[in-house]
Copies of this chain bind each other. A is one copy, B any other.
Amino acid sequence: MATDSAFKHVYGVVMAGGSGTRFWPLSRRRHPKQLLTLFGRRTLLEQTVARIRPAIPLEHVYIFTGEPILQNIRRLLPGIPSSQILGEPASRNTAPTAAVAAQEIVRRDPEGLMVVLPSDQIINKPALFRRLLATACHVASQPGRSVVLGLKPTRPETGFGYIRLGRRLGRVAGHEVFHVVRFTEKPALAEARRYVASGRYLWNGGIFIWKAATLFENLQRFQPEMADLARRIAEAGGICSRAFRRLYPKFQKISIDFALMEKISDIYAVPADIGWNDVGSWAVVYELSHQDSERNVRSGPGLSLDSQRNMVVSPKKFVVTVGVHDLVVVETDDALLVCARERSQDVGKAVQEIEVLGRDDLL
């Protein structure tokens, strides 16, 4: 099977360090978004791992997360060697994680390719996703190349980075591949509209594929301090050593996008129409959930009177709505959120205010 050979040297690096304040009060520091069961019975992290598992064996999967939820994740994913589920001693965004992962994978397999994956997205076409990953790995197997899965934009979203496509490379393993002209930061609305209308831009969903050695060479050139620190950790024993715990906090806090993708060349994009969603707010959960005849979404007991287009999440408490619309209501044992659905991207701001109030028990 083509897939088998395509994934022979491939390692999955799942970025599970996010704090997910936008899903407060369900998401907390010790229970962030990737551990929520927003859809179905499995957490977003479990779904992420299940999605790559048919292609990448669990022994080839690394999960990087925050220390508070490390043991939770080890319990949740017993098939992954616990030495490959790592708690970062400090939150340093994705570039340092990729740097230490690259060192680890090169040591293990000099030909190793790494697939970097966020842990908190949904992809409705997992089989197609894996076929596109095979294409990406094929392209990335040539030294010096970086590859990104580019998501087809469906709206002028200002919360994502965009990928400007260049000339077509051709079909690789059955799928189109393009050169990338540049990565752009989150655009203003007018710009985002131009991007989407042009047909030459894709969303950057943070799914990257490189040879680990190529990634590290790029780091040495564009982020030499970061590369040096990653090398020192590797020489001192790698990601399971005390050196990892001691040195990791010295990394600069920076994303892969800023640290590398906006700087390097020889990047390729594989357009991926895979039913992708970053599930960025309660409003997205509402859109993706089953709505009743009044377009309400309800998780938990209760009743609605003359109420439309609300989402009510309350596992135990009986929730009655009367004459309200377009609200998000989320109830937990210690907190309650009542939010205009169109304002749900601002829940994170409320969480910041809770932090200012010193109510750490609610974070």
Q: Which residues does chain B contribute within 8 Å of A338, judged by CB atoms?
A: 312, 319-322, 324, 327, 329, 338
A357/B303 in contact, CB under 8 A: yes
A322 to B25, CA, bound (A): 13
B322/A337 in contact, CB under 8 A: yes
B337/A320 in contact, CB under 8 A: yes
B334/A317 in contact, CB under 8 A: yes
B321/A339 in contact, CB under 8 A: yes
Q: Which residues does chain B contribute within 8 Å of A353, judged by CB atoms?
A: 303, 305
A335, CB-defined interface residue at 8 Å: yes
Known: A303-B353, A353-B303. A318 touches B346 (CB 8 A): no
A336 to B322, CA, bound (A): 11
* Copies of this chain in its oligomeric complex: 2
Chain A: how many interface residues by the 8 Å CB criterion? 38
A323/B342 in contact, CB under 8 A: yes
Give A260-282 as 1s and 0s: 1 = Cβ < 8 Å from B's Cβ atoms: 00000000000000000000000
A240 to B92, CA, bound (A): 76
Closest to A304 in B: B350
A250, CB-defined interface residue at 8 Å: no
A297, CB-defined interface residue at 8 Å: no
Known: A350-B305, A362-B318. A323 touches B339 (CB 8 A): yes
**A318 touches which one: B302, B320, B329, B335 (CB < 8 A)?**
B335
Query: Known contacts A317-B334, A322-B340; can you find 9 more A-B pairs with CB under 8 A?
Result: A303-B350, A306-B343, A314-B336, A317-B335, A318-B362, A322-B339, A322-B346, A323-B339, A331-B331
